[in-house]
Structure 1
């Protein structure tokens, strides 16, 4: 492996040695005040010049050996001037962050986003993600306010899109696919998302119908780009939930840029507020770095690295959950012994080389390595009482369990270890087929090697009133007194497996894009196909090879109307070849013959941009339909997914997404979203039932405001309302017998901050002089203290033999304080 990586590096550097410019060259990227690339910026000197491309990149040859004054100009932005005197053959990089010369420029904002919307991507401001309040703040927190994106667990960064599950979403950072740990089973164990918002320069999201250049998943794409700093900058954020810091800069000659981020997260504030009393010691920390080096005017190297150390120590003590009705209240009282010790340590490194072979052709080479070592150890004995609650007002025992209807205990044990190594090598190319770059051809080929070493040892023992409960299997049917019961006493559930699995994947794509005109209207066409071949083998596993093809296409039309409207039709065939977790069934057995799940996906979308109250607004709407075959059914326990690994179901999803975004308050960005979804599955031809992610209705509001008489006092509000998800089923139970739903999910998070220093009021002296921005604020999570639930715990009543589904409630109202700084 080390030899292969060395050859990969030598290939990059060897290619760069043959690239020399005969003239002094200046090159860079131009960003706007939101750190988004600016296309069409004029870069000129004397009577010569050029313009930035769609990615904000420019390259210009200038005379060497004399002073040259460059002018960077763009309508609505302040001009930038630069005087240079470069030596012969010298390559110089200058990255520009342009500023507006007026307060708001609506047409420019719309134009910079349109090229993404043509591709079916929704641009999201990273600044909104950094400022918006949320229990797990970040990019994912903002995504969950979008229509079609759902998450009913504020401690989780995972999200479901249009009926899919958490494993069906692609995440890229600088075109490099990133991964998440395998063994995490609850939101409070997650810690940190891979994406660090302090390092982020742009965010694009697609909820479906994405192009062939994106990978093989069924539901969505999150495309993140990290910053290339144009000057020194530093940030710090402190709160009761943890801390983060970042620092970035550029070398004097502009060739080397780098940005580093550190984060620490502590969920104790939330877990201590839940109904379960615990001794809780979480330690979630990571370090990320992104460096670029301009070897020449045509060749650039980028390095992305991440180390995450997550330690989760959990010792539950007691729990009391009150449920039922006012007339018939019931309580579950649990006493715990034992503890849980989990570790999730991940290491990620990637090297990316970009070579501008010519003005029309750019080649990219990407190599990455991801390793995760995880352990999940716990022995927890839970002894419970299920009984009637004292409702006598004024009684000193009000709210306590007085009469027990069910008594039992549960012992859960796990010794799970996983070590995964994933290696990727990828080559991509972009070729402009005409001088105006209106027609392009993109292609890519990728090799992936996955080496998984997994040990699963779990069991669960349940007894009620002193009697051990056997699994609900035919071998354990009790026909007493007519037949003697001779079956052995065994755990209610048990899993024991050791797997050593290797998967080799070869995937690729080719796609064609063209911009043309139909009459006086603009038309964009895109067509492509993906291919994916994979082979699964390992100890005791019969080697299995499969191949799938995924054709996709998009048509986007901008009519020549007075109304600014964009129509888009996209879709195709989407496959998701199984990852290791999808190959492993509920018994821990690896099934190498599991097929790729397939989805025929059609999306019809419309973007309508208009002015309201003299400010820009956009109404996005999409109607979609998915027809899924070879579906791999699964059960969902908090955020842990367990597959049946049999491809024995079919499913569908249909829905409507609406979002109105704009400046409801001048100078701020807010939106209101609505989503309707219906998704059902048919397992073994028994009829359609709810899928675990069947979230019928979704309302979301993300709102920013400020006090008019005190504009430095700002408010951030995040509202979400979701109808209830299916409540799940007990272990080994038939899901067709458990089709009830959880209560509706309602949550409101509020943040208030006061800006002490920002770019409009920098301090010339005193202790505030080093700050470019300084603000202090307070946050209230779950303002209305709504008791939301994520799953059910199923407990037996020994007298009536009834199984009660007892909701596992999420966090109540929690307060936080926050200090944000920029230097």
Structure 2
């Protein structure tokens, strides 16, 4: 197999650099079903350029001519034939799964050609099927997003991710054109539970890693645009595993005017958290209910309502911890005994009403209103009594591996009583107008009111060998035991604040799409501008009325070459007016006049579609540069971001991303991703240093396979490697004096699934007739048992006056069993 892999790699390199030409062909493939969703064998698939028949699993594959209308006919001796009209672009790989009816002929027209820019306007499209199948400790949309170019994360318990040097708060997420929000008080990945997106309901996923259009909102880094499915018939399904489960159902009324899809999810991370070094009594409960209702009274109107209720209860009672670190010659261990517990609650209520009016084929209007309400509570009192010990490293000793001498003892008491209540109301009106075949205009006016009530009370006391350690940020002189300490008795950290903050925003955008020709070469232009005006009021103090504008442009060229290539260039200003988290300083107070962070983007992209082994492949590469101004600097501790709220820095980001995806195994998509970036910031002209998201190298593999002799047995691999992030130093440290990096992040999750039935695999068991899909999977998380650290715990040795950075390791190797059933 290794020899074959080397041959395939050499062949791939040869094809990428050679001057081979490709015929103007496209390919269709799929599975033919009957009215009962059963696969059909020996169905004739007929075109003017070729013919084939479906196999015993109902599967077919056929090449057709590109850039011209092609009639495809599906014919079976016992059923009515179906005819489709297609127009595909060169090397297009299109999936068509027809249903043959016993009632009447079906004639449909599907036009997919170069006029549809969805394949090359810079977005990455992800199949919902891939998301459901690929294993991960926190499976879902974000699990796949983390394998894409430019996306970085070193926390498998979190759904948060950073894109091209940005942080977790710089990513837009839309569901059905409605912006969704992250929790405010979450400080560790294991508290997150479920992301907003319910994978069972998803129909389409688009992801932009930069250079996105003006129609998307005011964030600096990325856009995740998700569309939920509108049902056409009754379907239901469930998924159950050791980490929880989900169930969904969808259907339509007899007159096809009403439809509904509803999903319920439950998750319990105990299996993962108990694999960490800290022994805990862990009682989480993450529950989520989402429902999408749709009403279409006629061809011009559509009304829909998306509702969500999420309840996350996080009860955490640590008992003991032992972490071994140091060197081979000087092994050290940190041993901790805990008392106390943490009780957190996050309750989210969300509702959105969307009205679509389409008076004719050239004009469309949308009215979107939404309400988001979150009530969050973070309570904990945890006493950690620790000792720093030397480990017996003498092989053969009776105490080998045990702590034989304690060089430092101490205690740490953490207390918090934090409450937050956020209420966000949004109203937006949007319009789309087709001026002619080559020009289209989009526009929007949107109003937001954000009301946040926040009470922050948290402190930390550290005692080392009987001496209370004062706040490191205080200016004092301590030369004990030569002179008595006369400084203030203050907690090591102490934050107390009470804020009532309201933010009033008015946003608008206008976007122009144009397509044309330069000789025989096609080009596409997208140009637009966004604007936002906002004002912040906190505890009766009103800040300045601020305003920002964001012009953006994208140019796409598709040459009329034998090779299928696309060239892209995007540029523009991207502004991020502050949200509540960005207004709050380290001490909890609010700066009402924080400016919007600004970023100038330059993105150069290239897509190359080709065939190898007579199967479709695509190589996507992008180079980018971002210049950032009025930067609001911050620190990251696990997933908690704390801003300085001062706009006192400038920064830059540059890098390159590449992704090769295709059918390395016939019939299933896999991809390989590589990325490099560098980002630095300059605070108050003190010089450039690495930003907290300066994660230089990224390599990821998402691979699917099956056994040719046993196609029911599937294998999935999700592998990610990231170089270490800055953040190994204490949160209070001056980054100019004390900057360290964490170790590299290495993780591989594998899944093995036996498919009893799906769209491509038939069966001979009558009891499976009622199901469209059934599989049983076995998953291995962190397959190679790598020790990945998310942060460091800093422990002071009173004897040597040394601080040790003790790694806080993430999850170890864990096993999971998963059952999936759909009908």
Which TM class, normalised by the smaller chain length?
A: 0.7 to 0.9
Distance (Å, rounded) in 2 between the aligned partners of 1:378 and 1:330: 29
CA contact (8 A) 1:78 1:98 kept: no
Give the Å deviation of 1:78: 6.5
Helix, strand or coil at the partner of 1:269: helix
Judge which range, 399-408 or 731-740, deviates more. 731-740
**Equivalent-residue separation in structure 1 for 2:322 and 2:482 (angstroms):** 40
Match for residue 387 of structure 2?
385
Structure 2 distance, partners of 1:250, 1:73, is 28
Q: Is the 8 A contact 1:598 1:630 kept in 2?
A: yes
Name the residue aligned to 2:146. 144
Contact 1:636-1:728 at 8 Å conserved across structures? no
Per the TM alignment, residue 79 of structure 1 is displaced from its structure 2 partner at its CA by 6.3
Q: CA deviation at 1:766?
A: 4.2
Distance in 2, Cα, partners of 1:355 & 1:257: 18
The corresponding residue for 1:162 is 164
Whether 1:188 aligns to 2:185 is: no
Residues in 1 aligned to 2:480 and 2:486: alpha-carbon distance in whole angstroms: 10
CA contact (8 A) 2:205 2:227 kept: yes
Residue 598 of structure 2 is matched in structure 1 by: 598
Counterpart position of 2:754: 754
Distance verdict in 2 for CA 1:97–1:780, change over 3 Å: farther
Q: CA deviation at 1:398?
A: 2.7
Alpha-carbon distance between aligned partners in 1 of 2:541 and 2:465, rounded to the nearest angstrom: 43
For the 8 Å contact 2:348–2:373, the answer to whether it is kept is yes
Deviation at 1:596, TM superposition (A): 0.4
Counterparts of 1:640 and 1:765, CA distance in 2: 51
Asked if the contact 1:32–1:98 (Cα under 8 Å) also holds between the matched residues in 2, the reply is no
In 2, Cα distance between the equivalents of 1:765 and 1:115?
A: 44
1:653 alignment partner in structure 2: 653
CA–CA distance in structure 2, aligned partners of residues 246 and 352 of structure 1: 22
Distance 1:784 1:249 in 2: 43
Structure-2 change in CA distance of 1:352 and 1:798 (3 Å)? same
Question: Which residue of structure 2 aligns with residue 542 of structure 1?
Answer: 542
- C-alpha distance in structure 1 between counterparts of 2:358 and 2:31, whole Å: 27
**Distance in 1 (alpha carbons) for counterparts of 2:764 and 2:243:** 33
Q: How does the TM-score come out when normalised to structure 1?
A: 0.87
Counterpart CA distance in 2 for 1:32 and 1:639 is 42
Mark the runs of 5 or more structure 2 residues left unpaired by the alignment.
Answer: 1-28, 33-80, 88-93
> How many pairs align?
739
C-alpha contact 1:335 1:384 (8 A) present in aligned 2? yes
Asked if the contact 1:599–1:629 (Cα under 8 Å) also holds between the matched residues in 2, the reply is yes
Q: Name the CA distance, whole Å, in 2 between partners of 1:80 and 1:772.
A: 14
Aligned Cα root-mean-square deviation (Å): 2.3
* Bigger shift: residues 733-742 or 809-818: 733-742
Residue 686 of structure 1, CA deviation: 1.0
Give the C-alpha shift of residue 544 in structure 1: 2.4
Q: Secondary structure at the match of 2:275?
A: coil
What does residue 790 of structure 1 align with? 790
1:485 CA drift (Å): 3.6
Retained in 2: the 8 A contact 1:500–1:538? yes
After superposition, what is the alpha-carbon deviation per residue over 1:465-518, rounded to whole angstroms, capped at 9, x for unaligned?
110001123443325678764333110110000000100000000011101011
Query: Distance between the aligned counterparts of 1:541 and 1:84, measured in 2?
Result: 71
Q: Determine the structure 2 residue equivalent to 1:4.
A: none
> Counterparts of 1:295 and 1:167 in 2: how far apart (Å)?
39
Higher mean C-alpha deviation, range 150-159 or range 389-398 = 389-398
- Tell me which of 248, 262, 272 is aligned to 1:246: 248
Aligned to 1:516: 516
Instruction: Tell whether 2:662 aligns with 1:662.
Output: yes
**Cα distance 1:291–1:74, how it changes in 2: closer, same or farther (>3 A)?**
farther
Q: Which residue of 2 aligns with 1:424?
A: 426
The 3 A distance-change label for structure 1 pair 82 and 297 is: farther
SS at match of 2:668: coil
Which SS does the other structure have where 1:582 is aligned?
Answer: helix
- 1:88 alignment partner in structure 2: none
Aligned pairs (5 A) from 1:767-782: 767-782=767-782
Deviation of 1:73 after TM superposition, in Å, equals 4.4
Matched, 1:370 2:396: no
Distance 1:203 1:320 in 2: 42
- In structure 2, the residue matched to 1:693 is 693
1:764/1:738 CA distance change after superposition, 3 Å: same
Unaligned 5+ residue runs, structure 1?
1-30, 35-68, 86-95, 101-107
Structure-to-structure mapping, 1:108-507, within 5 angstroms: 115-434=117-436, 436=437, 438-478=438-478, 485-507=485-507
| CA deviation vs aligned residue, 1:110-130 (integer Å, no higher than 9, x gap) | 959962244321111111111
Question: Could you tell me how far apart the structure 2 residues matched to 1:534 and 1:331 are?
Answer: 52
Q: Deviations over 1:313-336 (max 9, x none)?
A: 000000000111111111111110
Task: Give, in whole Å, the separation in 1 of the partners of 2:372 and 2:267.
Answer: 22
Structure 1 Cα separation of the partners of residues 467 and 262 of structure 2 = 57
Residue-by-residue CA offset, 1:424-452 (whole Å, 9 max, x unaligned): 00010001111x2x200110010000000
Q: 1:613 to 1:97 in 2, by over 3 A?
A: farther
What is the CA-CA distance between 1:541 and the residue it aligns to? 2.2
Q: Is the 8 A contact 2:288 2:310 kept in 1?
A: yes
Change (3 A) 1:376 1:32: farther
1:709-746 C-alpha deviation (Å, 9 max, x unpaired): 11110000011111111134324321122222111111
CA contact (8 A) 2:31 2:759 kept: no
Secondary structure of the corresponding residue to residue 737 of structure 1: coil
* Displacement of 1:762: 5.1
| Residues 309 and 228 (structure 1), Cα distance of their counterparts in 2 relative to 1, 3 Å cut | same
- State whether residues 118 and 524 of structure 1, in contact with CA within 8 Å, keep that contact through their aligned partners in structure 2: no
CA positional deviation for 1:80: 6.6
Alpha-carbon separation, structure 1, partners of 2:443 and 2:822 = 40
Cα distance change on mapping 1:112 and 1:460 into 2, 3 Å: farther
User: Counterpart in 1 of 2:676?
Assistant: 676
Contact 2:333 2:390 in 1 (8 A): yes
| Alignment partners' CA distance in 2, 1:742 and 1:281 | 30
Please tell me whether the aligned partners of residues 538 and 590 of structure 2 are also in contact (alpha carbons under 8 angstroms).
no
Relative to structure 1, is the Cα distance of residues 273 and 83 closer, same or farther in structure 2, using a 3 angstrom cutoff? closer
Q: Which of 123-132 and 482-491 deviates more?
A: 482-491
**Residue 58 of structure 1: aligned partner:** none
Does the aligned pair in 2 maintain the 1:113–1:123 contact within 8 Å? no
The range that moved more, 542-551 or 642-651, is 542-551
Report the alpha carbon displacement of residue 72 of structure 1 after superposing the two structures with TM. 5.9
SS at match of 1:554: strand
Distance between the aligned counterparts of 1:674 and 1:233, measured in 2?
38
**SS in structure 2 opposite 1:724?**
coil
Q: Is the 8 A contact 1:71 1:81 kept in 2?
A: no
Would the alpha carbon gap of residues 241 and 121 (structure 1) be closer, same or farther in structure 2, given more than 3 Å must change?
A: same
C-alpha distance in 2 between matches for 1:798 and 1:817: 47
How big is the shift at 1:800? Answer: 1.2
Whether the 8 Å CA contact 2:727–2:742 is kept in 1: the answer is yes
C-alpha displacement at 1:703, in angstroms?
0.1
1:642 counterpart residue number: 642
**Is the alpha carbon distance of 1:687 and 1:254 closer, same or farther for their aligned partners in structure 2, counting shifts above 3 Å?**
same
CA distance in 1, matches of 2:98, 2:806: 63
Q: 2: distance between equivalents of 1:577 and 1:98?
A: 47
Give secondary structure in 2 for the equivalent of 1:198: helix
1:645 alignment partner, SS class: coil
Contact 1:577 / 1:596 at 8 angstroms: preserved in 2? yes
Q: What is the distance in 2 between the residues matched to 1:609 and 1:234?
A: 36
> What is the CA-CA distance between 1:208 and the residue it aligns to?
0.2
